[in-house]
Amino acid sequence: MTPDSERGGKRTGRQGGKRAVPQGEQFFTPGASGLRKAVEQRSAVPMTFLFTQVPRWVAPAVMVILLLAGFAVTNPLGGVAVLPVIAFIGWLAYLSWPSLTVGGKLLRVVMLTFLVLLAATRFGAF
């Protein structure tokens, strides 16, 4: 019996208030070369920090706030608010691309296209 089960509480997988790194088959794409390998290696530290040290609600909350600001503000400041959302979604899409199905890839392309068009309208392109 674990201490959590003795208390009747839920096991959270936390040690010292920090989330454990999820277990998986591999963190990096097997056989990756060139740019993908470099991006994956440089992304390892920020991704580990973001997903283990920062509370789970922070990244989605910040992205929603920035996206709402992009919708609400119709001048270039709204476009500036959407740029970090585009960068974050694009970064995650790039990292997850090899493991996605065709539907997942299409959804990410559509989402990024929508966000780029939103930013473009805020900068006065249309």
- Based on the domain organization, do 90 and 115 belong to the same domain? yes
Same domain, 100 and 87: yes
Contact 75, 119 (CB under 8 A): no
Average pLDDT of the residues in 35-60: 84
Domain residues for the domain of 59 are 33-74
Over 80: is that where the pLDDT of 32 sits?
Answer: no
pLDDT at residue number 9:
46
Residues 69-98 have pLDDT tens digits of: 999 999 999 999 999 999 999 998 988 888
Residue 19 covered by a domain: no
Predicted TM-score (pTM) of this structure? 0.71
Q: Is there a domain that residue 22 lies in?
A: no
Among 7-11, 16-20, 74-78, 97-101, which is the least confidently predicted range? 7-11
| Torsional sign, CA 97, 99, 67, 44 | negative
